[in-house]
Structure 1
């Protein structure tokens, strides 16, 4: 990082059992790193033939899937169509928003992995406006949970931000990823937010378009997250005129 030469990119390869959270957090909390580099995306490679049998045995493997923005399902030539569908369904139960690529011998166009800017939620939403709409609720026996909160009434920012900080304080250690787009009362700009564990970022993205439905969508991926508690608090963030109806 101290060299004057400019790099096109830096690829960080972790061990098979590494926790991706500390690596991701470095790009947000280390000022020197943050000033010179940005976290582009987190990529996970899985074995199409053996994922179903192995995932229940390794806690770290589940969290790597939960953290990933891109998941490469490799060795697809060794799996049947039914097995591939089961693998993709299993991945979606853990991570409903990741991009899934099927490969043989990990052969793919490298451009599909680079410059994704997966941690720039505003850019993702510009490229894929429906990015957050495919997230469905999943709760399962490996303690990883993913669910989405959708509200068509505008939220009150004076209620939402304290609530979100409370959620991060109470459950941040178990929140693997948090992504969302928020519609605030009296605000013509969309607000995007994302988090990793205790770290949270948010900012206005752009103005809502005239024909665009102003909908708040939040996606949580984490360990044993209390959906009912989070949902109840979220609904209390509606603007007063809507909340009183």
Structure 2
């Protein structure tokens, strides 16, 4: 899986508006011979037509699939289910949690930060959003949840691309970029995608974004514009002082938390040989040392905020005040 916090089990949160193709993607994960074992937590087992692939019903909530994956339903509490899965954590490579089609993914993502037991053993690997190429533009106008799902995403499957023209496709991609310039977009039909493009993304890692869009840190993304959702990124090639950074980011997220959907960053602290990676969901932050800085990479700190009603000048001034 990803190289982030290797002792922790990576968790993928899978979201997408009703009818976008989430269930199709889940079916692929639960039945294709990809050679990995995942625990998949779904909201309503009845929605998913995978009964013929079930091998054993361990109990009413956990089912084992032909390809070794486990499927569980959340009838009660997500934390309880995850806690149970963690007791058999040697059985699988990762956990996938599906949200309902009408859900804001934030509360599900927050679970992996809030609960100490769960947070100590798992790491949020990525939020993956399945979007319907034909209907997304309409949903962005009338469904705030659909906009949140796009803003939250680290990876977006722009699905059903066979139902729209190339011009319409470029238009809908521009609208996605206006809300979230950092997510990786994959065009798909019938949610057909290599599993390794969805799972094990290490979405902490802004390096991948730069590889796709090398100039995004230079403000190259600013021509995308959405009325109420913005994203801002800042960088500094001078080392940061952790004694300044942590109080600043904590105060900022406590104050502006409701408006900050996602925050993430890779940081170079003074006298610290390791990269520090963090990501946040609203007011909740999680971070850890990831790996040593390589000799061939610039020790640049990079930080990203996606949210509403943010003040970019204040954000930048706050970030730069953390320079050692």
**Residue in structure 2 matched with residue 242 of structure 1 by the alignment:** none
**Residue in structure 2 matched with residue 169 of structure 1 by the alignment:** 254
Q: As a proportion of its length, which structure holds more strand?
A: 2
Following the alignment from structure 2 to structure 1, what is the Cα–Cα distance between the partners of residues 186 and 269? 35
Following the alignment from structure 1 to structure 2, what is the Cα–Cα distance between the partners of residues 181 and 151? 11
**Deviation for aligned residue 1:218:** 0.5
The match for 2:108 among 15, 19, 23 is 23
Counterpart contact for 1:146–1:219, Cα < 8 Å: yes
Unaligned runs of at least 5 residues, structure 2: 1-80
Following the alignment from structure 1 to structure 2, what is the Cα–Cα distance between the partners of residues 98 and 210? 27
**Deviation for aligned residue 1:85:** 1.3
Following the alignment from structure 1 to structure 2, what is the Cα–Cα distance between the partners of residues 220 and 214? 20
**Residue in structure 2 matched with residue 140 of structure 1 by the alignment:** 226
* Aligned: 1:212 with 2:291: no
DSSP 3-state at the match of 1:114: coil
**Residue in structure 2 matched with residue 243 of structure 1 by the alignment:** none
User: Kindly tell me: are residues 199 and 87 of structure 1, through their superposed partners in 2, closer, same or farther at Cα, counting changes over 3 Å?
Assistant: same
Deviations 1:24-65 (CA, angstroms, capped at 9, x unpaired) = 111221234445655443221111122223312111111111
How many residue pairs match? The answer is 234
Unaligned runs of at least 5 residues, structure 1: 240-245
Counterpart contact for 2:184–2:209, Cα < 8 Å: no
User: Kindly tell me: are residues 223 and 160 of structure 1, through their superposed partners in 2, closer, same or farther at Cα, counting changes over 3 Å?
Assistant: same
TM-score (norm 1): 0.83
User: Kindly tell me: are residues 13 and 157 of structure 1, through their superposed partners in 2, closer, same or farther at Cα, counting changes over 3 Å?
Assistant: closer
Deviations 1:150-193 (CA, angstroms, capped at 9, x unpaired) = 11222222222211111111111221111111122333322212
The match for 1:64 among 149, 153, 162 is 149
Following the alignment from structure 1 to structure 2, what is the Cα–Cα distance between the partners of residues 106 and 235? 42
